[in-house]
Amino acid sequence: MATGIQHSMARGTAWMMLFKLVERSLALVSTLILVRLLSPADFGIVAMAMSFVAMAELLSAFGFDLALIHKQDANESNYHTAWTCNLLLGFVITAVMIALAQPIAAFYNRPDVFWVVCILAVGASIGGLENIGVVAFRKDLQFRKEFAFLLSKKLAGVLVAVPLAFWLRSYWALVAGMLASRLCATALSYFVHPFRPRWSLASIGEMMHFSKWILVNNVVIFFKEKTTDFVIGGIKGPTALGLYNVSSEFSNLPLTELAAPMNRALLPAYAKIQDDQEGVRSAFGNTIAILAVVAIPASTGIFAVAPLLVPVILGANWLQAIPLMELLALAGGVVLFHSPICSLLIAGGRPEAVARCHAIFVGVLICGLLLLVPNLGEQGAAYATLAAAVIATPAYLWELWKRAGIGPALFLGAIARPIFASVAMLIVLRLALPVAEAMAGVAWQALSLILGIVLGAIIYATVIWATWLAVGRPGGAEQIVLDQLRRTYSRMRKRTGDSG
């Protein structure tokens, strides 16, 4: 059974990574257009409103979808109860946010935040109406359907935001895109899944037993992700916040493009094999190995090419984002390993352990922000984020060993060769990039950026492959990739032979 689940996990991860690739392509194109049409302050105003909208949405953060995934024998009553609770909470959130819109605008001393909060608050009610039946796509590992559903939702937001940005040249384009995405997801959920929810609270006690810890966990995650918005926005204003958020979005590409889709596929897969300790250990080890061999060089590469990436991709108005992107890329390279640990612990019924780890992260982050942001601004926030990521990591590893019996040796074996190869790549690129950075003109900088990415990929692949051969070809990501290439080649030869 575990082997079959691992194969489903691999297919699910592939579908989710394909979704993230397509989604990121859409987001990248839209962001490249939006940053040219809108100012950092526009992004900052929306981020100010979203920080409080996200706080209100904690009321709906009971994680009923995760409870349904964890509960392998969930029945229709559980699904009806989950939908009813989401609906009620969505209406409550809308009412709370409209009531708090004026105090929120006063907190930031930005009157224009008031109407942004009011409009975005409506999205909570729309989201509460979404068909809970689509959770079955993840629960039953039907990731192809999950892919189509998520992609449609993302596409709707892009198709609304970009044309409006050309017309309005205002943050209202971003707001409209977010609302359109919510509307599309809710409407589409009833077309893609036959389940029809109805009003019921029959299973609320049973659902809350697991979900209460998901709520606690999500509250801590909220502060983990939004504390920087509160501190930077309150102390330094919307421009600084816009710089930080856009820098974070680009520097965390390995986290959002690799760890997040893997995490979405891993949680339901781990839930199905949660009683098979050896199967869980094997699946988790393969996940970490593959994540390390791809994500570590990606984060290191963003750090290395940031002086060229910012002027070429974002433009001259965003040059202050260079040091932010460098620091946040390093932080993201550490944080991305937290995600599979959290998935494993939650799937095993240990959400309280995840909450403890996130709480340590938040505690360090808050201390760093309060100490550094007043004097260093958004760059101080980046330093605080990096410090929190490094200091909190041992807590995640401790909970993994204590709850799942997986020690740090697995991590050391998985990350040693990728780190060595990434450092070699970084040294070469840092020696070459100062010359390229001094070149005049965006065209030369763009060419240098492309050559730097290609050179970095060649150096990394060469070093890690040579290192793997030198240490005797041990099991790991390299062997997994080689086996997959062999299977692909065999299938191609078979199809060619059949055609002949």
Q: Is the pLDDT of residue 6 over 50?
A: no
Q: Are 179 and 124 in contact (CB under 8 A)?
A: no
Contacts of 205 (CB under 8 A, 6+ apart): none
Query: pLDDT grade, residue 5 (50/70/90)?
Result: very low
Selection from 411, 361, 406 nearest residue 386 by Cα: 361
Mean pLDDT, residues 368-380 taken together: 91
Query: pLDDT grade, residue 308 (50/70/90)?
Result: confident
Q: How far apart (Å, rounded) are the C-alpha atoms in residues 218 and 67? A: 13
Q: Are 264 and 65 in contact (CB under 8 A)?
A: no
Q: Is the pLDDT of residue 438 over 60?
A: no
Structure tokens at 80: 């009806």
> What is the separation of C-alpha 389 from the centre of its chain, rounded to a whole number of angstroms?
15
Q: How far apart (Å, rounded) are the C-alpha atoms in residues 222 and 60? A: 12
Instruction: For the beta carbon of residue 88, count every other beta carbon within 10 angstroms.
Output: 15
Mean pLDDT, residues 168-196 taken together: 85
Selection from 280, 259, 294, 275 nearest residue 344 by Cα: 280
The listed range with the strongest mean pLDDT (70-79, 260-269, 312-321) is 312-321
Length of the chain: 500
The listed range with the strongest mean pLDDT (349-358, 395-404, 485-494) is 395-404
Q: How far apart (Å, rounded) are the C-alpha atoms in residues 258 and 250? A: 13
DSSP 142-197: -HHHHHHHHHHHHHHHHHHHHHHHHHH-STHHHHHHHHHHHHHHHHHHHHH-----
What are the b/e assignments for 99-114, b being 16+ CB within 10 Å? ebbeebbeebebebbb
Q: How far apart (Å, rounded) are the C-alpha atoms in residues 496 and 500? A: 6
Selection from 114, 136, 131, 127 nearest residue 183 by Cα: 127
pLDDT digits (tens, 9 = 90+) for 61-77: 445 666 666 666 667 78
Strands (E), 182-307: none
The helix-helix angle for 113-128 and 76-108 (nearest 10°) equals 180
Q: Where are the domains of the chain?
A: 2-499
Query: pLDDT grade, residue 113 (50/70/90)?
Result: confident
User: What does the pLDDT read at residue 22?
Assistant: 63
Query: pLDDT grade, residue 434 (50/70/90)?
Result: low
Mean pLDDT, residues 126-130 taken together: 85
Q: How far apart (Å, rounded) are the C-alpha atoms in residues 493 and 499? A: 10
Instruction: For the beta carbon of residue 85, count every other beta carbon within 10 angstroms.
Output: 22
Asked whether the CA dihedral 10, 13, 15, 17 is positive or negative, the reply is negative
The listed range with the strongest mean pLDDT (157-166, 207-216, 369-378) is 369-378
Q: How far apart (Å, rounded) are the C-alpha atoms in residues 163 and 27? A: 14
Instruction: For the beta carbon of residue 188, count every other beta carbon within 10 angstroms.
Output: 18
Q: What is the mean pLDDT of the chain?
A: 78
Q: How far apart (Å, rounded) are the C-alpha atoms in residues 100 and 53? A: 10
pLDDT digits (tens, 9 = 90+) for 76-88: 788 888 888 888 8
